[in-house]
């Protein structure tokens, strides 16, 4: 299957674009200058219902819409473009808007470790057991989701880009950190790399030197947006052989798959890809943020988790939309997130209840909203760390003042008139 990708520069060559109104096309051109986007022929031909624009969930996931920018920001760019402003001036305006969209949420710079005097720019080590590795060749994606904390790296705001080619530094770091059991290859999307490059990174980890590394994890959107990666690309078989090699070494290979909507699970080709991956002994664990306009109904999650389990996948995380990029368009109040989670979770059997959420990936850790309750006459959110910057924070329930509008941790206040949350003391 031939891969054609579409971005701001060539999206008008998509035949189905003729179904859009002039206004919708303009929105893609204006918003697309600030929030980069990308999709491909598989998504365009199989996942988007072009008779349901702009409401189609996969269209909304992949193409910019006017409401993804504030009115002021939209009008600023539009008038510059309409008046044929110099490229440099447009660039400057775009940059200013981007800086206001919180391009570095959750202080990711803080998690970059040192090896002696060397700052390891391609590694994040935040939670004791798991090291994230950003291989430089895998720093692109099949989609540039505007709600994802990775959008700045696709915009060329390079100071914020994490990546590292030097696998040797990763290996040396792991030699010194025997507490690490998991390596999570992330990006971008590491499955955009060739089998050959992936092999060069992974195979050394399967040796005696790294007997403490028990799980290799790979975060990827390929199953949703390019399942041919496992069935029809020139090196598909080599990828599957590599997966088998990992599981044959007695380690766990966990594919962390991004699925945002049940439509992504519906094609024959994704079903085939999942089967082939599972036949290597690898696990597939699934995750998605909860997004208004995309999956903000419990039935959608129920349907998605059940389908995933039918296909042999393991529901893993439901995230709260992060405080970055187009969050204002996609966000839901925490109370609503919890209601959707609870409605969905209580409608499925235990095999789907491996999922945890709704969880905020914030600076101190992954914080789950356990629910809304009343303690000593005060309405509160009950929260807990699923992962914490300090291990001792994990799984300790704590309380925040209830607020029906709050959408992110930053705007939560401790309950019972306390000044700080326990982890801030
Ligand atoms: C989510 C995340 C991980 C992995 O956490 P798990 O709960 O083990 O899946 C590791 N590091 C960072 C920085 C993360 O955000
Ligand atoms: S990592 Fe996933 S959510 Fe982020 S841009 Fe890539 S495909 Fe989208």
Distance (Å, rounded) from C-alpha 199 to C-alpha 331? Answer: 38
224 and 80, same structural domain? Answer: no
CA of residue 179 to ligand 1 center, whole Å: 15
Query: Domain tally for the chain?
Result: 2
CATH number for position 260: 3.20.20.70
Task: Please tell me whether residues 260 and 119 are part of one structural domain.
Answer: yes
Within a domain: 291: no
Helix 268-279 vs helix 236-248: angle between axes, to the nearest 10 degrees? Answer: 40
132 CB within 6 A, ligand 1: yes
Same domain, 18 and 72: yes
Q: Which atom of ligand 1 is nearest to the CA of 256?
A: 9
Round to whole Å and give the CA distance between 174 and 214: 12
Q: Are residues 157 and 44 in the same domain?
A: no
pLDDT of residue 160: 46
Say if 94 falls within a structural domain. Answer: yes
Cα-trace Rg, the chain: 22
> What's the pLDDT at 31?
96
Q: Please indicate, yes or no, whether residues 163 and 215 belong to a single structural domain of this protein.
A: yes
Last residue of a domain, one of 45, 80, 99: 99
Q: Which of 281, 302, 326 is the last residue of a domain?
A: 281
146, part of any domain: yes
Distance 126 CA to ligand 1 centre (A): 8
From ligand 1's centre to the CA of 127, what distance in Å? 7
**Parent domain of 61:** 5-99
Ligand 2 lining (C-beta closer than 6 Å): 141, 143-145, 148, 150, 189, 221, 258
Q: Kindly report the protein residue whose alpha carbon is nearest to atom 2 of ligand 2.
A: 221
Give CA angle at 345 (414, 364), nearest 5°. 35
Whole-number Å distance, alpha carbon 213 to ligand 2 midpoint, is 26
Residue 98, token pair as written in the block: 């981007």
What is the distance in A from the centroid of ligand 1 to the CA of 415?
A: 27
Residue 420 covered by a domain: no
pLDDT tens across the length of the chain (425 residues): 899 999 999 999 999 999 999 999 999 999 999 999 999 999 999 999 999 999 999 999 999 999 999 999 999 999 999 999 999 999 999 999 999 998 877 666 678 899 888 888 889 999 999 999 999 888 889 999 888 888 887 887 754 455 666 788 999 999 999 999 999 999 889 999 999 999 999 999 999 999 999 999 999 999 999 999 999 999 999 999 999 999 999 999 999 999 999 999 999 999 999 999 999 999 999 999 999 999 999 999 999 999 999 999 999 999 999 888 888 999 999 999 999 999 999 999 999 999 999 999 999 999 999 999 999 999 999 999 999 999 999 999 999 999 999 999 999 999 999 999 999 98
pTM for the full predicted model: 0.95
Backbone angles phi, psi at 384, to 5 degrees: -155, 155
User: Does 128 share its domain with 254?
Assistant: yes
Domain annotation covers residue 201 = yes
In a domain, residue 389? The reply is no
Nearest to 318 by CA among 252, 259, 380: 259
Q: Do 122 and 228 fall into the same domain?
A: yes
What integer pLDDT is reported at residue 166 of this predicted model?
76
Residue 88, exposed/middle/buried by CB under 10 A (0-12, 13-18, 19+)?
Answer: exposed
Cα(31) to ligand 1 centroid in Å equals 31
* Same domain flag for 86 and 109: no
- Structural domain contains residue 220: yes
The CA distance from 186 to 163, in Å, is 10
What atom in ligand 1 is closest to the CA of residue 386?
A: 7
Domain boundary among the residues 281, 299, 319 is at: 281
Does a structural domain hold residue 316? no
With a 6 Å cutoff on the Cβ, whether 287 touches ligand 1 is no
Give the ligand 2 atom nearest the CA of 142: 7
- Ligand that lies nearest to the alpha carbon of residue 111, given by its number in the listed order: 1
CA of 182 to the centre of ligand 1 (A): 10
Nearest-CA residue for ligand 1 atom 6 is 387
User: Do 88 and 110 have their domain in common?
Assistant: no
Ligand 1: residue whose CA is nearest its atom 15? 361
Atom of ligand 2 nearest to the CA of 258: 2
Nearest listed ligand to the Cα of residue 226: 2
* List of residues 6+ apart from 264 with CB closer than 8 A: 47, 58, 223, 224, 225, 270
Predicted pLDDT at 281: 98
How far does residue 421's CA lie from ligand 2's centre (Å)?
A: 31
Ligand 1 neighbourhood includes 361 CB (under 6 angstroms): yes
Residue 163 sits in the same domain as residue 84: no
Q: How is the chain split among helix, strand and coil, in percent rounded to 5?
A: 45, 20, 35
Say whether both 187 and 211 belong to one domain: yes
The secondary structure element, H or E, covering residue 77 is helix 71-82
Q: Are residues 212 and 236 in the same domain?
A: yes
The H-or-E segment that residue 334 falls in is: helix 334-345
């Amino acid at each position: 299957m031939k891969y054609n990708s579409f971005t701001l520069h060539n999206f008008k060559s998509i035949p189905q674009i003729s179904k859009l109104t002039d206004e919708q096309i303009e929105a893609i051109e204006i918003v697309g200058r600030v929030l980069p986007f990308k999709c491909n022929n598989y998504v365009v031909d199989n996942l988007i219902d072009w008779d349901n624009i702009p409401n189609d969930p996969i269209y909304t996931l992949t193409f910019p819409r006017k409401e993804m920018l504030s009115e002021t920001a939209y009008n600023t760019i539009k008038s510059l473009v309409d008046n044929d402003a110099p490229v440099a001036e447009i660039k400057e305006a775009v940059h200013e808007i981007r800086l206001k969209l919180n391009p570095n949420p959750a202080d990711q710079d803080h998690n970059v470790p040192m090896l002696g005097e060397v700052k390891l720019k391609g590694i994040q080590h935040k939670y004791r057991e798991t090291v994230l590795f950003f291989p430089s060749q895998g720093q692109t994606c099949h989609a540039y989701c505007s709600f994802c904390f990775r959008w700045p790296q696709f915009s060329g705001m390079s100071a914020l880009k994490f990546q590292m080619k030097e696998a040797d530094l990763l290996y040396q770091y792991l030699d010194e950190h025997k507490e690490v059991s998991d390596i999570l290859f992330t990006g971008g999307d590491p499955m955009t790399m060739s089998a050959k490059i992936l092999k060069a990174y992974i195979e050394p980890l399967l040796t005696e030197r790294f007997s403490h590394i028990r799980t290799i994890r790979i975060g990827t959107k390929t199953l949703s947006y390019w399942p041919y990666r496992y069935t029809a690309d020139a090196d598909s078989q080599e990828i599957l052989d590599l997966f088998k090699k990992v599981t044959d070494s007695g380690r766990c290979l966990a594919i962390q798959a991004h699925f945002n909507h049940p439509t992504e699970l519906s094609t024959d080709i994704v079903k085939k890809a999942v089967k082939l991956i599972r036949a290597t002994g690898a696990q597939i664990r699934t995750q998605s943020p909860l997004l208004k306009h995309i999956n903000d109904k419990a039935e959608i999650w129920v349907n998605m988790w059940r389908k995933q389990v039918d296909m042999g996948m393991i529901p893993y995380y439901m995230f709260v939309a992060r405080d970055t990029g187009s969050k204002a368009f996609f966000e839901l109040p925490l109370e609503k997130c919890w209601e959707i989670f609870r409605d969905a979770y209580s409608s499925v059997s235990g095999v789907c209840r491996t999922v945890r959420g709704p969880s905020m990936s914030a600076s101190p850790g992954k914080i789950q909203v356990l629910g809304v309750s009343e303690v000593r006459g005060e309405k509160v959110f009950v929260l807990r760390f699923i992962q914490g910057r300090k291990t001792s924070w994990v799984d300790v329930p704590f309380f925040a003042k209830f607020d029906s509008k709050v959408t992110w941790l930053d705007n939560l206040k401790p309950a019972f008139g306390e000044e700080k949350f326990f982890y801030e003391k």
